[in-house]
Amino acid sequence: MYKRKRIVIALGGNALGNTLPEQMQAVKTTAKALCDLIEEGHQVVVVHGNGPQVGMINNAMAALSREDANQPNTPLSVCVAMSQAYIGYDLQNALREELRKRGFMRTPVVTVVTQVRVDENDPAFQNPSKPIGHFMTREQAEHAEKAYGYVMKEDAGRGYRRVVASPKPVEIVEQDAINSLVDANKIVICCGGGGIPVTLQGDHLKGASAVIDKDFASCLLAKELDADMLIILTAVEKVAVNFGKENEKWLDEMTVEEAQKYVDEGQFAPGSMLPKVQAAMDFASSKEGRSAMITLLEKAKDGIQGKTGTKIHI
């Protein structure tokens, strides 16, 4: 019997484009794929990346502080908040428009500006490795280190870039509000860019110079929502082992045990497919009956129907 599902969908960067005009165009395609699932009766919760967008905002804010000595540098956590709002704005409108084209006149779509708590003692803070922002000369990098306390690293001969920590998410601060909205059958966009990274200091939530992986944040969200399925949409239709080699093999499914074996073999690239597979494994193994899917944006509906994608299960 066909079962409608509560699904958390993690959108990859290809769903949003790299510039404002690209994003406005890209979200129309993204909305069609999401509305295919909504039209099937599934309850959809959306998480998105923000790589190009938060970099653009960070660069713009840094340029402003260089031009005006009275403008303090904008913390990365604030840049993430800005990116959540403006990506959410475009996604909300695209979803609303697409749903109305399909005859859904009540289209309650909402973006929740979401804070995600990380542990200030997470070892990732001792080894910042996630590059953000534009390339700099050695002189500019030294100035950024002194003026703003940035950690700068040379990037493969192309110049210097700021690097920040990528700690694991431990709590979604607005989880109760998200639960209420989803339970009331609203279409919720949340945890954008992995969430605004914060640490708890007494009763105060303090922004952290960090980037949370959106796939790990999506996994935590899916578990807290008691979702049936986590779908991670990326630029490939299926997960492959021996990727790019003569014996390359595309996978229709993996058990968590099989996926762990591939991870141990180093089959998946860090910062690319590895966190997606790890998040999928975490969710699929968290409760009986849960599964995860990694596939292409345009193939989300086919993936749920078992026609394509890589399914991860116990």
Residues 24-54: tens digit of each pLDDT: 999 999 999 999 999 999 999 999 999 889 8
Examine the residue annotation and report whether 242 is marked as an active-site residue of this protein: no
pLDDT of residue 269 exceeding 50, the answer is yes
Q: How confident is the model at residue 1 (pLDDT cuts 50, 70, 90)?
A: very low
Range with the poorest average pLDDT among 12-16, 158-162, 198-202, 249-253:
12-16
Range with the poorest average pLDDT among 61-70, 79-88, 210-219, 302-311:
61-70
Which of 14, 73, 93, 179 is catalytic? The answer is 14
pLDDT of residue 147 exceeding 70, the answer is yes
pLDDT of residue 133 exceeding 80, the answer is no
Residue 5: predicted pLDDT: 92
Examine the residue annotation and report whether 194 is marked as an active-site residue of this protein: no
Residue 65: predicted pLDDT: 85
**Cβ count near 84 (within 10 Å):** 26
Which of 5, 28, 32, 130 is catalytic? The answer is 130
Examine the residue annotation and report whether 299 is marked as an active-site residue of this protein: no
**Architecture field, domain 4-118+167-311:** 3-Layer(aba) Sandwich (3.40)
Which of 5, 13, 51, 59 is catalytic? The answer is 13
Examine the residue annotation and report whether 5 is marked as an active-site residue of this protein: no
* Of residues 113, 96, 114, the one with CA closest to residue 105: 96
Q: How confident is the model at residue 130 (pLDDT cuts 50, 70, 90)?
A: confident
Helix residue ranges, H only, the chain: 20-39, 51-67, 76-101, 138-148, 175-183, 214-224, 256-264, 273-284, 300-304
**If you average pLDDT over every residue of the chain, what do you get?**
93
**Cβ count near 65 (within 10 Å):** 15
* Of residues 3, 7, 1, the one with CA closest to residue 38: 7
Please state the domain extents for the chain.
4-118+167-311, 129-163
Residue 19: predicted pLDDT: 87
Q: Please give the average per-residue pLDDT across 87-112, as a whole number.
A: 94
Which of 276, 299, 301, 311 is catalytic? The answer is 276
Range with the poorest average pLDDT among 86-100, 144-158, 191-205, 292-306:
144-158
Examine the residue annotation and report whether 73 is marked as an active-site residue of this protein: no
pLDDT of residue 164 exceeding 60, the answer is yes
Residue 131: predicted pLDDT: 84
Tell me if the pTM is above 0.85: yes
Q: Which two tokens stand for residue 216?
A: 């790990």
In sign, the C-alpha dihedral spanning 216, 217, 219, 223 is positive
* Identity at 95, one-letter amino acid code: L
Which of 49, 214, 299, 311 is catalytic? The answer is 214
Compute the distance between CA of residue 218 and CA of residue 200 in angstroms, rounded to an integer.
Answer: 21
